[in-house]
Amino acid sequence: MPEYVADSSVFILGMPLPQLPLNRTVTTPDVLQELKDMRSKMAFEAAVDHGLRIEQPLPHLVSEVCDRARTTGDFDRLSETDIGLLAKTLEYDGILCTDDYAIQNVAESLGIRTESIAQEHIKETFEWGMRCTGCGRRFESGDQVCPICGSRLVGYRKKRKRI
């Protein structure tokens, strides 16, 4: 039976995870930091009472996720929490429960299975790049300002693949 990894949206939306055995569910400590309202914190504590485990992601898997997120162009769209959750899911070869499309995009690239919470699952994956609004040159993700003309860079889809 696979390990489930719970993103913040599970608790923010107050999902009791009825289909998931909680003793097979894990999350990272950073998830608790993202929970701002009392309802989501209570949902988190209830899950802990029913066996939710809280574990740090492994550093070498965090590095692997960061490398892949740079390849897909999603690195700037992911928080440290998101990266940690992806790393934890890799560790257990589990299923990541999330509604975040950037997380799902990187997860697909890593071969990680995801389950949506309240929104539809992604139907396409993308590789992102950056395009200058001034001179039109294209770059990999990372910078916010064009090194050639100094104009603002905006994201564009380099590749698109239907799932």
With beta carbons less than 8 A apart as the criterion, state whether 122 and 102 touch.
no
- Residue 59 bridge partners (DSSP): none
Model confidence at 36, pLDDT cuts 50, 70, 90, reads very high
CATH number of 4-115: 3.40.50.1010, 3.60.15.10, 1.10.10.10, 3.40.50.150?
3.40.50.1010
Reading the block at residue 143, the tokens are: 């910078």
Helix, strand, coil % over all residues of the chain, rounded to 5: 40, 25, 35
Tokens 């995801």 sit at which residue?
A: 114
11-30 residue pLDDT tens: 998 765 545 555 689 999 99
CATH number of 124-162: 1.10.287, 2.30.30, 2.30.29, 2.20.28?
2.20.28
| Alpha carbon separation from 82 to 19, 21, 131 (Å, rounded) | 23, 22, 25
Domain ranges in the chain with CATH number 2.20.28: 124-162
Q: How far apart are CA 85 and CA 10, in angstroms?
A: 13
pLDDT of residue 83: 98
Instruction: Supply the pTM of this predicted model.
Output: 0.78
With beta carbons less than 8 A apart as the criterion, state whether 13 and 117 touch.
yes
SS3 call for 70: helix
Percent of the chain with pLDDT strictly greater than 70:
91
Domain ranges in the chain with CATH number 3.40.50.1010: 4-115
